[in-house]
Amino acid sequence: MQPHQLAYFVAVAEHRHFTRAAEQMRVAQPSLSQQIRALEHDLGAPLFHRIRGNVSLTEAGETLLPFARRILAESESARRAIRELDELDRGRVRLGAPPSLCTGLLPPMLAAFRRRYPGIQLELHESGSGDLRQGLSEGALDLALLAGARNPGDQRLASTQLLLEELVLIDSGDGPAKARLDVRELADVPLVMFRRGYDVREATVNACRAAGFEPSFAIEGGEMDAVLELVRAGVGAAVVPSTVAGARFRMTRFAADAGMTRIVQLAYRKEVEPTRAVRALRAAILGFVTDPAHLPPGIEPLVGSDRASP
């Protein structure tokens, strides 16, 4: 198997179309098709079903796809590592983070990193933690800040617990907030709910079910900005991380024993040797979160504490 053959294969698998794949790879379509046939001959199995212009993966193709993506990602990591041997003033790091961290904790952290390493190119990928785990597994990300109460769940990933963050209820009301809220009181509250894949959605639904009821959604499927705007418009209330609540909303904290918290962790691939630029950003993130001066109220550092996982 040649690297360019695997790249052509992945392109066809993603586009489900030979011509569009050839356009992406900037190669003539007959040449791409020839290389795919050579790869199939080498493997001894067809990789695609080709029926009247419809292209779909065979069982062999489905099996090969994750391996091909990892091989290509690791090849790119090797090339980057060699390019960055001499200095840290040229490099690239692909960092994933959930929207709540992108609008709260992450900007000052990345600003400090840029001041120290102005030559390193940062690519920020904003999505829910479920999507970020997949991006790490497939080699599309170098590092990811994941939020939630569980480990990444993929044996290829390693993680370091960084922070324990409080979840709160926000609404558009003008009156004073209650001192504390029991989760069972959410049974009568119409919620503006994030789309599937967001850790806050999972934490909220699990807490309600543990209290014996299913939450009621006023509307669901939003990203962070949309959820905040819908709450401000009075559509309903929402459970959000305390760091994004801000002064625009009435904020109510949950009872201390409600378990309405989430763990923020830094995750990366175990078997991929990080470049110097990736190591520099990882060290900068760990250094940032261990300084209490950088952390807003409602966040507790876990790095180096007894509560952090081994």
Q: How wide is the angle at C-alpha 52 spanned by C-alphas 50 and 58, nearest 5°?
A: 20
Burial of 310 (0-12, 13-18, 19+ CB in 10 A): exposed
- Domains plus CATH for the chain? 3-82 (1.10.10.10), 85-163+262-301 (3.40.190.10), 165-261 (3.40.190.10)
Q: Identify each DSSP E strand in 149-260 by its residue range.
A: 157-171, 190-194, 216-222, 238-241, 250-253
Q: What is the pLDDT of residues 254-297, one digit of tens each?
A: 998 888 988 999 999 988 888 888 999 999 999 998 888 888 77
Q: What is the pLDDT of residues 6-52, one digit of tens each?
A: 999 999 999 999 999 999 999 999 999 999 999 999 999 999 998 87
Share of the chain above pLDDT 70, in %: 93
What is the predicted pLDDT for the residue at 307? 47
Q: Output 97 or 294, whichever has higher pLDDT.
A: 97
pTM for this entry: 0.65
Nearest CA among 52, 49, 44 for reference residue 62:
49
Nearest CA among 64, 67, 6 for reference residue 38:
6
C-alpha to C-alpha distance for 7 and 92, rounded to whole angstroms = 21
Residue with tokens 């069982």: 59
Contacts of 174 (CB under 8 A, 6+ apart): 250
